[in-house]
Amino acid sequence: MVLEGKGEALFRLHHALDNSKARGEAAPHVTIAVLRGSIGLRKVPLVESLRIIGRGSLNWLAERPIVVSFEVTDACTCWCKHCDHGGPRDESRNLKPSGYARYMNALRPCVVQVSGGEPLMRDDIVEIVRRIKGGSRPPYTILVSNWSLMTEEKYLALADAGIDQFSVSLDFPDQRHDDFRVYPGLYRHLEELIPRLAKLGRDDIVLNSCITSENVGEIGAIADKAREWGINLCYSAYSARRTGCRDYFPETPAQLAQLNQQLDRVEARRDSTNWIVNSPTTLDATRQYFANKGTPGCKAGLRFLVVTADGALQPCSMQFHRYQLEDRNRMIAEFSRTNQCDECYVSIRSYLDKSFPQLLWENVSGFLSVK
């Protein structure tokens, strides 16, 4: 689930305003960008940003999820080596577009991830997005896709329906991406389409790369590719829990040394444009996740959750405890309060697995301009 990746954007605004007020100064000029789960960098008007900040704060206090990932299909066009989805699935029980409003009204997330499987396999995906958005903000809405079925027409239609950020997966900066995803021609398609859409100037595309033992030496080269294509960049971490295979988990001394070397190179390239979406603390925690072979303290089901294609609630995409929407409090009591799983550090978790003050500070500090 790549809130693959899933959202940095909340508090330094209040800090700046409070400090200005205490000094008797006029309120500073502020610009906030909402982070996109896995995620992004496009500027959001102040009033809309305040709505998202407000809802996120209320959800935290009320123990409603900050992020909800709607897995709108289990089917996929690819057979990725690091994923448990792949190929066609039974679609007969999928939620219809009209069914999503009930979940939005009950859960009221400030960030939504629309994922799968491959969400573009749904012919009604544009209508699903419209129903999730409900004609208002929040939620900030992210489409997580491999882009095998993306076209310029679909991109524009989804943006018009309410997608704020498009998260597109890339495992290798060349045709090896096709082999890893078992989809010939995919890299060439991305190489042609992404730079062309980036030139439209919407600043809403984020390249998401899941770090595995196979591509740990390509972390810097993938950053180069994001720069070349004119888009933003986010990293997530492979979990063996998804597939049961540890072969793709970087854990040898040589692999961990390479991981640190490559991430050091990426960190050195940060600038004021925030094109590297992961915060420094998130990348540091990712290093520790691989070094320690896990990270305890997961808040699945509480800070984030999954709605499956057929409408069940799950704490996350790798915990198959299924609940009805009306039974979310029981999910928290039975699973979240006692959860000891430490086997992932996916994007959604990495952004929300922090204290409230830290989350608020980080989610705005990189996007707040005070003049």
What pLDDT score was predicted for residue 185?
Answer: 98
Binned average pLDDT, 10 residues per bin, the chain of 371 residues: 38 39 38 36 59 78 89 96 89 96 94 95 98 85 97 98 96 98 98 98 96 98 98 95 93 98 97 90 94 93 95 93 96 95 83 64 48 34
What pLDDT score was predicted for residue 285?
Answer: 93
The candidate with the shortest Cα–Cα distance to 201, out of 43, 310, 61, 358, is 43
**Domains along the chain?**
12-365 (3.20.20.70)
What pLDDT score was predicted for residue 14?
Answer: 40
What pLDDT score was predicted for residue 13?
Answer: 39
What pLDDT score was predicted for residue 5?
Answer: 36
